[in-house]
Structure 1
Amino acid sequence: MPHLIDVTMFWSATGGGVRRYIHAKRAWLQAHTAWQHSVAAPGADGRDAVALPGVPLPGSGGYRAPLNRRAAARALVDRRPDLIESGDPYRLAWSALDAGQALGIPVVGFCHSDLPELLRRWTGRGGAAAGRLYLRHLYRQFDLVFAPSATVYAHLRDAGLQNVVQQGLGVDTGLFHPARRDPAWRQELGLADDVRVLLYAGRFAPEKNLSVLADAVRLLGPSHVLVAIGAGPCPPRGDQVRVLPFEPSQQALARALASADLFVHAGDQETFGLAALEAMACGCPVVVRDRAGLAELVSDEAGVRVARGRHADFAEAIAAALRHDREKQGLAARQQALRHDWSDAMRGLMGHYLRLMCTP
């Protein structure tokens, strides 16, 4: 029975895209294979979890920074996996490589974050160049690197990496479904029927640009409300903003997504865009920044892509989307999401795993 360990720093009690991907993978493996699956992360708990030592990372929304590369590698070696997947490019990625070398097993990386863009924001173009050099140095040591979108794939190839394949993520199209739409949802929030509800769900992190959405809603006027579901250090603020806590129930989240007028996302560093895809699967049209992974997910029929990140541009795009036929646009969004069902994504992922494990 093969044993896969996912190791990542991107693990929080209040969600995140990497956590959702790992949970979806585990559920699929349990339903369709005899594989054993473990998660190794600072703060990980529960069955088949490897809790690695770490300290809270300020401003991260619940992530913890690992303390000791060697100790983490030893913890991985002790579990005797047959395959390791690293979900971040930081210290634990090196621990995964150390453990893989000690055990003589394949190690794959999944590029869930845009490190060069993050460094560019902090330090300018020099930081972006340094980030690309670092990723090349790190990822060339992996047996294979997954890129969740064509944008990430191109960036990694441009950095000089040859061991990269595009491997998209997915959505449970049975769980996230238009049938979850419930008029009582907005009534429970005390919102009148004529209020246009714009929904964001995800981490409240700086790169999500939530202040842009709050300012756009203010510009649109009091008949528009932004409902933000999640947690993190940078929640949106304003008289027309309703902040709700992280929703651990996928069914409850699907109900909210299906019941909103629009899903909105101003982030410009999304390597894929799981939350937007979940909204589309629920038949909810989307307005997103025309950058990175989000730009690839959303067609003109399923929503609106915003070229610039200013709040006035988002306000204009939201107003345009609300003038469209929601039912027609929602159907197009649903059809787009059906092309990314988790079952298809997981079969592709398993193909890569099996080829690596069978390669001498």
Structure 2
Amino acid sequence: MSSPVSLQANARGDSAQHPAPHLVDATMFWSASSGGVRRYLQAKHGWLTRHTGWKHTIAAPVADQPDMVELPAVTLPGSGGYKLPVKRRALATTLQSLEPDLIEAGDPYRLAWAALDAAHARHIPAVACCHSNLELLAASFVGPRLAGTAMRAARRYVRRVYRHFDLVLAPSEIMKLHLLDAGVDRVVCQPLGVDTQTFHPARSSPMWRNQLGLPPATRLLVYAGRFAPEKNLHVLAEAVQRLGAPYMLLAIGAGPTPPSGERVIVRPFETDPMLLARTIASCDVFVHAGDQETFGLSVLEAMACGTPVVARAAEGLTELVDDSVGAAVADGRPESFANAISTLFLHDRGGPSRRARERAEAYDWNQMLPLLLMRYRQLLRGGPRPRDTGADSVTPTTLPMSLWQ
């Protein structure tokens, strides 16, 4: 793969003959406690600033960093600080006013339609990054009896919105297949990445671990991420309860469904990546029972820390976790997780730790972001394809509220 610097040459906006392109990332998935999408956009912003002349603007309902643009939105109760962009025309007007050369939409709701409107008005390419599996979210919202109906409706909506974009980015191969099966074309697999300098085994700190006040022989499991229903945190809590002493679960995050139990320690969301890396690297095993992950950024960060991972063998996690880096659990039963965790501790975890780190290094942002930049440049050279978004729309009442979170 070409180096980040070599990829800067001979492309629109990276020479004296052309002004630098302006990329606008529009997303609703941004709050004080948001994780994966926020770190993706922050990593992209920093990398573009260091390695290219591109201008990059993040547009979100919550603007808590310099140079961000705040989008009109309403507060979304019970979402952990997220806001919902609703007014399509106002959103499109705001995005147009930024005068972008390329727009990337980070969610498939009203903001996606507004991004398409703005791209159409400016005759520029529009990209969508698929961070959520709407079919699985819909099924979990309505329950088993109506799951099939909900999934079919979600699939129709996915096809309707994404078919207008010039390119759709799927963070995993399995998510790419889901989109293709739904009838979406122009899909490519564009994995997320990790800062392997920040998330590094050297962050491990015995002093930090001692501050928890736990016995030295404690087998400390850690989960970091949103406390959301699809993360199945109750499975982890029940698994550690089954295991008993000396196992403990440290859960770091925010959201409506935190785990609980006498062997569970809950800590608030950590905004500082360096402190988060110290925590993860200082624990024995990272655990994740989610079965709807489109990628699994927190799992990748744990692997970069050299922390073995026990995760559900489902969706995007299957492409990151296998028994060589920890354990891939075939089902979501607490006893299955308990067995996988205890079995991992029967053997030397040095091998899984080294292999986890090696696998994460292949996903370093300096590998993933040049590939993404190449895709952007191809779109800019080719220009947008004709699109008509006027007939397609969605209102906040069309989809269940959980899909907006």
Quickly name the TM-score band, shorter chain normalised: over 0.9
8 A contact 1:273–1:294 mirrored in 2: yes
* Correspondent of 2:131 among 112, 116, 123: 112
1:130 and 2:153 correspond: yes
1:289 and 2:289 correspond: no
Structure 1 partner of 2:263:
240
Please give the alpha-carbon distance, in whole angstroms, between the structure 2 residues aligned to 1:70 and 1:356: 25
Please give the alpha-carbon distance, in whole angstroms, between the structure 2 residues aligned to 1:132 and 1:48: 36
Residue ranges of structure 2 left out of the alignment (5+ in a row): 1-19, 384-405
* Correspondent of 1:10 among 10, 25, 29: 29
Please give the alpha-carbon distance, in whole angstroms, between the structure 1 residues aligned to 2:74 and 2:350: 47
Q: CA deviation at 1:67?
A: 2.7
Q: CA deviation at 1:172?
A: 0.8
Please give the alpha-carbon distance, in whole angstroms, between the structure 2 residues aligned to 1:53 and 1:97: 17
Letter matched to residue 222 of structure 1: A
Structure 1 partner of 2:54:
35
Q: CA deviation at 1:41?
A: 1.0
The Cα offsets for residues 113-153 of structure 1, whole Å up to 9 and x where unpaired, read as 00011001123111111111111110010000000001100
Letter matched to residue 58 of structure 1: P
Structure 1 partner of 2:118:
99
Q: CA deviation at 1:161?
A: 1.5
Please give the alpha-carbon distance, in whole angstroms, between the structure 2 residues aligned to 1:113 and 1:237: 26
1:332 and 2:355 correspond: yes
* SS of alignment partner, residue 102 of structure 1: helix
Residue ranges of structure 1 left out of the alignment (5+ in a row): none
* Correspondent of 1:171 among 194, 201, 222: 194
Please give the alpha-carbon distance, in whole angstroms, between the structure 1 residues aligned to 2:354 and 2:368: 22
Q: CA deviation at 1:22?
A: 0.4
Q: CA deviation at 1:32?
A: 0.4
Whose Rg is larger? Answer: 2
Q: CA deviation at 1:303?
A: 1.1
* Correspondent of 1:313 among 336, 359, 363: 336
- In the alignment of these two chains, the number of paired residues is 360
Q: CA deviation at 1:324?
A: 2.3
Please give the alpha-carbon distance, in whole angstroms, between the structure 2 residues aligned to 1:351 and 1:299: 30
1:358 and 2:347 correspond: no
Superposition map of 1:155-170 within 5 A: 155-170=178-193
Please give the alpha-carbon distance, in whole angstroms, between the structure 1 residues aligned to 2:63 and 2:221: 33
Please give the alpha-carbon distance, in whole angstroms, between the structure 2 residues aligned to 1:98 and 1:324: 56
Letter matched to residue 31 of structure 2: S
Identity %: 56
1:62 and 2:81 correspond: yes
Structure 1 partner of 2:233:
210
Superposition map of 1:250-265 within 5 A: 250-265=273-288
* SS of alignment partner, residue 345 of structure 2: helix
Please give the alpha-carbon distance, in whole angstroms, between the structure 1 residues aligned to 2:159 and 2:41: 25
The Cα offsets for residues 233-275 of structure 1, whole Å up to 9 and x where unpaired, read as 1111111111111111111111111110000000000000000
CA RMSD of aligned residues (A): 0.9
8 A contact 2:86–2:111 mirrored in 1: no
1:278 and 2:301 correspond: yes
Please give the alpha-carbon distance, in whole angstroms, between the structure 2 residues aligned to 1:178 and 1:338: 12
8 A contact 1:198–1:263 mirrored in 2: yes
Q: CA deviation at 1:321?
A: 1.4
* Correspondent of 1:142 among 151, 165, 182: 165
8 A contact 1:186–1:192 mirrored in 2: no
Superposition map of 1:181-192 within 5 A: 181-192=204-215
Structure 2 partner of 1:230:
253
8 A contact 1:61–1:204 mirrored in 2: no
Letter matched to residue 315 of structure 1: A
* Correspondent of 1:152 among 168, 175, 199: 175
Please give the alpha-carbon distance, in whole angstroms, between the structure 1 residues aligned to 2:276 and 2:205: 12
Q: CA deviation at 1:326?
A: 1.6
* SS of alignment partner, residue 340 of structure 2: helix
Please give the alpha-carbon distance, in whole angstroms, between the structure 2 residues aligned to 1:293 and 1:59: 26
Please give the alpha-carbon distance, in whole angstroms, between the structure 1 residues aligned to 2:351 and 2:329: 20
Structure 2 partner of 1:83:
102
The Cα offsets for residues 26-61 of structure 1, whole Å up to 9 and x where unpaired, read as 011111011111111111233221111222223322
8 A contact 2:192–2:297 mirrored in 1: yes
Q: CA deviation at 1:298?
A: 1.1
8 A contact 1:60–1:205 mirrored in 2: no
